[in-house]
Chain A
Amino acid sequence: MSRLERATAFVSKPRIRNLWTLIVIVFFLAFVITPTLFVLTYAFTNWDLIQTEVIQDPEMMSQIWTAIANSFEIAAIVTLIDILVGLPMAWILVRKKFRGKELLDTLIDMPLAVPTAALGFSAAIFWGITPADLTNPLGLKIVSSPFLLIILLHIIFSYPYMVRSLSAILEQIDQTFETAGQTLGASKLTAVRTITLPLFRAGLVTGIILCFARSLSETGGTVAALATVANTDFNTAPTLIDSLKSTPALAFTSIVLIILALVLLVVVAIVVKKLHIPFRKVWPRPEKILSRGLAPRLKDATSVLFLVFIVLIPSFFVFTFVFTSSPSTTTDWSQFGQSLVNSFLIAGVVTVIDLAMGIPLALYIAKNRSKWLPETLDILVNVPLIVPTVALGFSLKLFWTGGTPVSGPFAIFLVMLAHIAFTYPLMVRNVTGAVEEIDPTYEETARTLGAKPIQGFKRVLFPMIKASILAGAIMAFTRSLGETGATRAVSTTVLTAPNYIVNLIKLENDYYAAALACIILIIISYALMLALRYITRRRKGVS
């Protein structure tokens, strides 16, 4: 027996495998779930502090409630708009055949490649009324309300998520249903409204939650946009957490945010299931008129124009900035270099840990369905996706340090842990999904042919889920690279690239350097996204 064979035999022993599963579960609970939700315990242990410092301070309370209300209003409006403009776009992508569809498909994902801090800056100089030293002759300068500006910004990065979720559902719905409706005398619009839309329901929940959670969590872009238009008193919950100093106030805001987000998750799930899209009432004439001729064309044109003018141009508007303004001489580029190194280091370490700890958990969940523990883990894995990342970052800091300010290598270490918490679910979700699609008999066949479990995994399962693992890894990497909220909640001094950009705008007003940094970050992230698309494409092609 060679050493490798002996090692294989060793790790294939049931006891060793169980031990490893145990370690992974403990890791998940101790490093992901508990720190994410730890802040909730603060309400029990330090209620008197919250009482005296927050609840009895009317000014503080009004600031917190206003910020939270802003966040939820913005998220709700953004989600609603995304659904309304996302549905026609999903239809175009899934049901229509036309030249240039590939291009449209790529364009939709473009904003995903831009880190939100860069998006915030870009959108603000496009829409917003900016201070005099930020004169960009090409900017529209029409939006003075910070509320509206943040809505416009959040639409940009949530739109691709919504369109993708809606298209994914639509692809699952057999077009024959719609056609059948038409053969029964329904106009196109009637058929869509009474047949296809009701079938959307369950899947709509995913889109809404993803979109809502993203908007609720967004920090970097919002801070950058508000700083760019020199607004100081408008806050969303994440920007408030970003600026608050008092631990009880931070804890209180985080707790409220987490609880509301979780409640919302449940409410949305229930409401959408119960929601009765009326299919007994029809308006044959108006719906017929809207089904043919000008109306559908107008609708398609609007969808494309929305994509171009509301989503794409504001995303990449930052590129015009470097041509229309002059470079500042005081920028310390070595800092930017260092921030890039830090960002990549953090994202790299986070991804490796996600891989090592995520794959075993995904396998455990996927292969032990219908037992209570894996089922529970499966639900818990989603929690960090819904908890706003600033609240997550703060909670995690509270868990590891008790809330004292951190700096230096330890701060970087904590930032890594925070990034693991919200990227870990991405990895687990990707791999679980892939494993569940595979017929388990493959691996069983390998086992009947004498393969040890670990060999079964390596030779049979791994090659089939390799692409999903890679996709999960790249997703985790890009999310970590673009994250601002969680990083700043742990420490505003940790120099990651998005953090550096936010500081340039907010503290130093060095817009030229910020724009340049944004562009470099966009290019790097875009390269990563292309790699992701290439890999997922190939996966589709193979299966």
Chain B
Amino acid sequence: MPEVSLSHITMRFGKVVAVDEVDLTIADGEYVTILGPSGCGKTTLIRVVAGILEPTQGEVRINGKSMRGVPIEERDLGYVFQNIALFPHMTVKANAAYGPTVKDLPMEEREQVAKKYLEMVKLLDKMSMFPSELCGGEQQKASLARALATGAKLLLLDEPLSALDARVRVDLRYELRRIAKSLGLTVVHVTHDQEEAMSVSDRIVVMRAGGIVESGTPEQLYTRPRDVFTANFIGETNLLEGWVKQRLPGKSTIELRDNSLIEVENCDPQVGEAVVVSVRPEFVFPFTDGLLSRIEYLTYMGTYWRVSSRSQSNDMVEFDVPSIEGKLYHPGQEVYLMFNRNAAVVYPRPKEGVTEAVKLE
């Protein structure tokens, strides 16, 4: 029953601090994604879990057992590499049978196990082919089957879908989650794709510059992110700076930089404090009054139009209108915008400035 816990994990490469004091616990059977922009230390972190890297500081425990000094091959985990890494000189079946082979199981059993997992990923008909004869999605499935065939209950996935076409990527997401849940696996899935993270995870851990920003269910992180970085990184949002003017239970007022007022339901900062309000484009509406804004351009998104406008204080404000209403708006037009009160989230304004705080680095 794998439960993974990381305490104070730090990984340095010379002067570069790739992972900085990370604490994280992953429960048995949980599907966790580690989400963050490229270069934030995700790969380094799961390599530390796998034992490919020895951390500079800190300790990895799997099932409560310290992994210090335990080599990769004795950690009993499956690892799917970003570049797939199927052995090019072996058939798909031999690849899948590699785990049972190096345990020196009897021939029939190797075969049986390999076939079982190839069937699970629906690749049984391609098992005599060599990796180079498969397309990207099939290769990724084969590499998943190979990892599963070791019988490990802990699965580490490093950007498993990033090498694939958009369509295949979406299909495979569901496959991944389905298989993980049916086998009762504990999964740590690393990705920089927030949509992917949202669609597969029980819980998302947001990383930035070597550290963990926050973690929560996809819904929590989308609707009520605790950090302005998360608000900006997951989904899309408008960030507007202002001050708390009035603070009442269930109804507070924020004055924006162009002196217009907006109402929000929840506001932790005190009256007079500098804040930044995050509100997603789907929760901004044109109305008879509100924030005065001039439309700059419209982008067709299929099911809706994304309208990009600029307020008098020169902030970009985006909002969505249904497809059929697209012709009601045109560049240069002035509109008044309202915000959905309970969808707006208020953060204290970061000391380093909003731009700096949401920068991906």
Interface residues of A (CB under 8 A from B): 174, 176-177, 179-188, 190, 194-195, 198-199, 279-280, 282-284, 288, 291-292
Contacts and interface: CB of A to CB of B under 8 A. Distances in A.
B89 A198 contact: yes
B147 A183 contact: yes
B50 interface: yes
Contacts of B89: 195, 198-199
Contact of A283 (B78, B104, B146): B104
Contacts of A180: 79, 81, 85, 87
B99 A182 contact: no
Q: Nearest 10 CB-CB pairs, A to B?
A: A183-B79, A186-B102, A182-B72, A184-B99, A180-B85, A176-B85, A182-B73, A198-B89, A284-B104, A185-B102
Contacts of B52: 179, 182-183
Interface of B: 50, 52, 71-73, 76-79, 81, 83, 85, 87-90, 98-99, 101-104, 146-147, 150
Contacts of A198: 89
B85 A185 contact: no
Given A176-B83, A181-B87, A182-B52, 4 more contacts: A180-B87, A184-B150, A185-B99, A284-B102
A182 B103 contact: no
A184 B71 CA distance: 12
B147 A174 contact: no
Determine which residue in A184, A195, A282 has the highest number of CB atoms from chain B within 10 A of its CB, and name it.
Answer: A184
B87 A187 contact: no
Q: Of B73, B76, B78, B81, which is in contact with the most chain A CB atoms at under 10 Å from its CB?
A: B73
Given A180-B79, A280-B101, A186 B73 contact: yes
A282 B104 contact: yes
A190 B102 contact: yes
Contact of A184 (B88, B104, B147): B147
A174 B104 contact: no
A183 B50 contact: yes
Query: Majority SS of interface residues in chain A?
Result: helix
B12 to A, nearest CB: 14
B32 to A, nearest CB: 18
A184 B102 contact: yes
A111 B87 CA distance: 37
Given A194-B102, A283-B104, A182 B71 contact: yes
A64 to B, nearest CB: 42
B71 A181 contact: no
Contact of B98 (A176, A179, A186, A291): A186
A184 to B, nearest CB: 4
B267 to A, nearest CB: 48
A367 B85 CA distance: 33
A187 B73 contact: yes
Contact of A176 (B72, B81, B104, B147): B81
27 contacts: A174-B83, A176-B81, A176-B85, A177-B87, A179-B52, A182-B52, A182-B73, A183-B50, A183-B72, A183-B73, A183-B78, A183-B150, A184-B99, A185-B99, A185-B102, A185-B150, A186-B73, A187-B71, A188-B73, A279-B101, A280-B101, A282-B101, A282-B104, A284-B102, A284-B103, A288-B73, A292-B71
A441 to B, nearest CB: 26
Contacts of B83: 174, 176
Of the listed residues A182, A283, A288, the one surrounded by the most CB atoms of chain B closer than 10 A to its CB is A182
Contacts of A195: 87, 89
Contacts of B79: 180, 183
A288 B102 CA distance: 11
Contacts of A177: 85, 87
Contact of A179 (B72, B78, B90, B101): B72
A138 B76 CA distance: 56
A516 to B, nearest CB: 47
Contacts of B72: 179, 182-183
A286 to B, nearest CB: 11
Nearest to B103: A185
Contacts of B102: 181, 184-187, 190, 194, 282, 284
B85 A174 contact: yes
Nearest to B110: A280
Nearest to A186: B102
A419 B165 CA distance: 56
A288 B103 CA distance: 11
Contacts of A185: 73, 76, 99, 102-103, 150
A180 B98 CA distance: 10
A184 B146 contact: yes
Contacts of A174: 83, 85
